[in-house]
Amino acid sequence: MLSKKKTIECIEAMGELFPDAECELISANPFELLISVMLSAQTTDISVNKITPLLFATYPTPEAFMNAPIEDIMDKIKTIGLYRNKSKYIKGCCKKLVEEFNSEVPRTRKELESLPGIGRKSANVVLSVAFGVPAIAVDTHVERVSKRLGICSMDASVREVEEVLMKKLPIEIWSIAHHRLIFFGRYQCTARNHDHRICLELVGLN
């Protein structure tokens, strides 16, 4: 396994490769980000960004989503995967926001995870991107890259990957490290077959 020093060096190298690494979901406020994150499960950010302008123009508030017929929501997000379940989660989430959180997106992980359709990974994204709270959201890219580079063991669970990254990286770079790992996995060290030696060289592990 990579040492703390080597792990930090890898993240710094990724930063040189992808200096503009950031959340690629387009949102204007924490509520839009919350919904976009829910929509992005097993779907590309590009696909989500295509549907959200009309979606948020039609339903700009939790109340609007809560009162909308679920069939109408489905119709507006039907181009992305799992749209039926996502429509149900969105309505349930918005209902809880209205009834329990005064229509505001909560700012703690525990409260975010109490919302329908929001797990730890999604909560971490919202905390980090919307509220600037240091967090590492482990998606498929972060998990794959962390394991392939030897930052954590190949048999680590998603939660274990997050915990290892939190231990090996200073808290002040957790959020940017999360984005750099995603970009490295999305645009360089992909899940498709490729010459992994190049990936290792790019982060100084050759």
- Catalytic annotation, pick one of 110, 121, 147, 168: 121
**139 labelled catalytic:** yes
Q: How many CB atoms within 10 Å of residue 192?
A: 5
- Catalytic annotation, pick one of 88, 139, 147, 167: 139
Q: Are 146 and 181 in contact (CB under 8 A)?
A: yes
Q: Which residues lie below 8 Å from residue 91, measured CB to CB, with a gap of 6+?
A: 65, 66, 68, 70, 73
Chain CA centroid to CA 50, Å: 17
Distance, in Å, from the CA atom of 18 to the CA atom of 23, rounded to the nearest integer, reads 12
Q: Is the sign of the CA dihedral 109, 113, 114, 115 positive or negative?
A: positive
Distance, in Å, from the CA atom of 127 to the CA atom of 203, rounded to the nearest integer, reads 28
Q: Which residues are marked as active site? A: 121, 139
